[in-house]
Every structure is written in structure tokens, then in C-alpha cells.
Amino acid sequence: MPAPKGNRNAKGNKGGGRPTKYKPEFCEQAQKLVMLGLTDQQIADVFGVGERTLNDWKHGHVEFSAALKLGSELAADMVERSLFRMAMGYEKRVQKSTQSGKVVELIEYFPPQVGAASKFLACKRKDVWAEKNVGGVQHQLSIDEGLRAMLQEMGERSRQSASSVRTPVY
């Protein structure tokens, strides 16, 4: 039995249903939320809607979907740069208090981390560094043994030295 004529809540009638809460300014907010690492459910909570509604917005508003994708890409870029710094080692200026109460500025050195270097190369140079799962067993593809030995040696030197070397800045 079809819905009575004029029933605004009947499926298919124009004008029926609840008005959308979507606003164009949500695009910029959603992009920033994705960059902070929030999940779809958490983003939906911020906007006061359900995850299903958020998914409807992704499908119904191209600019909203593009903002979420851009935020995700920018976050991945930040992580990639951080992983690269960890793989290469880096220096950082810090201020420390001495026992006498004097504040000195130091340059702390953070040595390269073999795990970060290996992960970075596994993503960037898959043909040489990626691991392959065959029959539930991890296999390393043809890795240049010289490079592998160099990374292991770097890791051992890093572990032998202090976790960070402090150099005073004058």
C-alpha cells in the first residue's frame, strides 16, 4: 500500500526527511582532524553526526571527500619525513638546566635507527628491500648484502654509543 498523498516522510517524496547538518566549512575542519589522526567515528562525533552520515557526506560532497583525502596525504607526508629523519639521524637544539641552576643550550644528536632505515627503504625501494610473505613465512627479497651489513653496523655503533651525545652551544 503506497503512502498517502502529501506524506512528506514517505520515501521518494521531495522535501521529506531531516535537513542536512553539512556545511561547506566542514571541509577545512575535517582535513585538520584527519591530519591529527582522528578516525571516521571520531570525526563524526566532532560534527555531532553518526559515521554513516559522515560516509554519506563523503559520497554526496566531492569537496568534503577531497579534503579528507588531502588531510590523509599530508599526514602521511609528515610521517614519512619523520621516518626519514630517524633513519638518517638528526640534531636538535635543547635547553637544559645544570645543577647550579644555569640554563645552557645544547645540541643533542640522535643517531640513525636501523629499523627506521629498513622500513623507509622497504617502502621506497620495494624491488630491493621489501619483505615478501610466502606461505606464512617472511622472506627477504634479493637484498644487497653490503647495504644490509652497513645498516647492521650502524645500528650496533648507535647502541654502543650513548643514546644521545650532548654538545654545548657557545
The Cα 162–Cα 164 span in angstroms is 5
Decide if 30 contacts 43 (C-beta within 8 A).
yes
Predicted structure pTM score: 0.59
Instruction: Express each pLDDT in 91-137 by its tens digit.
Output: 999 999 999 999 999 999 999 888 888 888 888 887 777 776 656 65
End-to-end CA distance of the chain: 87
Instruction: Express each pLDDT in 18-52 by its tens digit.
Output: 788 999 999 999 999 999 999 999 999 999 999 99
Decide if 86 contacts 113 (C-beta within 8 A).
yes
Helix 145-160 with 114-124: angle, nearest 10 deg: 150
